[in-house]
Homo-oligomer: A and B are copies of this chain.
Amino acid sequence: MTATEVLNRTGTVGIIAGGGPLPEMVADAVVATGRDVFVIALEGFAGKAVRRFPHARLRISQAGDIVGSLRQAGVRDLILIGDVRRPKRFIRDSGFSNLWYTLRNFDVLRSGDAGLLERVVRLLERAGFTVIGAHEIVPSLVVREGPLGNIRPGRRAEKDIARGFEAALGLGALDIGQGVVVVRNRVLAAEAAEGTDRMLARAAELKRDYAAEHGPQPPKGVLVKCPQPIQDLRVDMPTIGPTTIEGAIAARLEGVAIAAGRVLVYRPEEVRRLADEAGLFVVARPVPQSAGPRPE
């Protein structure tokens, strides 16, 4: 479906809401487009904020009730948004239990697993819903090519950005992760299951150790983030937000580069303000959909 086709659709939009600030933002944005929303607030994940919209509070294991509630609310288009990683408990009492079993056994630390999500999406589509990406209905959630704030990368940073996209795309093709920190052409830290925030904390630590031993501050470096080729961007898009910028500041990075149109930015105003105040660049760049390893 093209972006225009999505925007021309009508009727109530269902939102299956996980944790974090995104579900509320998306619900507000959908309402602003003139369409109604109906929220499934997933227990254990969704915050209280989404309860101001028409909603049902259900557990992720209540597959039948979720589908029933959405149908009853007249939902055709469906958005899955918010954090469902690290489930608080192991749920085995109903329809989704196989999925959670899979999660627990094959995907130790994340449920952002493409295989699991694929199955959830397939199940919802078989139930008659059209799964759409939050960014398709709220295009402002993703950043278009160019700088987000006032700072632009210099020539040396551009080299680290290029190296970073090459490395991050390679990591993605290997199904390892979505981000790297590059300092003067070397990959200082590569993200796997720990997530971007922890990777940034590690980069900060490595740079502190370096400074403690060598006196001068090491070169700054950049964070580069882009989706893996196997990620279904409708339901599993890499995200940055104020926390990412705070992590980049703590690691004394020069800036952050993301894949244009393919990384979700929440609280973009705050991201911009934090970055500008700290003298950090945040820039979106077009990147190929997939890439091989670094040429020798």
Task: Confirm or deny: A218 has a beta carbon within 8 angstroms of a beta carbon on chain B.
Answer: yes
CB distance from A51 to the nearest CB of B (A): 25
Of residues 56 through 113 on chain A, the ones whose CB sits less than 8 Å from some CB of chain B are 86-90, 104-110, 113
Task: Confirm or deny: A186 has a beta carbon within 8 angstroms of a beta carbon on chain B.
Answer: yes
Q: Which residues of B contact A177 (CB under 8 A)?
A: 187, 190
Q: Oligomeric state, in number of copies?
A: 2
Task: Confirm or deny: A34 has a beta carbon within 8 angstroms of a beta carbon on chain B.
Answer: no
Task: Confirm or deny: A274 has a beta carbon within 8 angstroms of a beta carbon on chain B.
Answer: no
B293 to A210, Cβ gap below 8 A? no
Residues of A bordering B, CB below 8 Å: 86-90, 104-110, 113, 166-167, 170-171, 173-177, 180, 183-194, 198, 202, 206-207, 209-210, 213-216, 218-219, 221, 229-230, 292-294, 296
B176 to A190, Cβ gap below 8 A? yes
B188 to A109, Cβ gap below 8 A? yes
Residue of B at shortest CB range from A216? B90
- Measured between alpha carbons, how far is A171 from B191 in the docked complex, in Å? 12
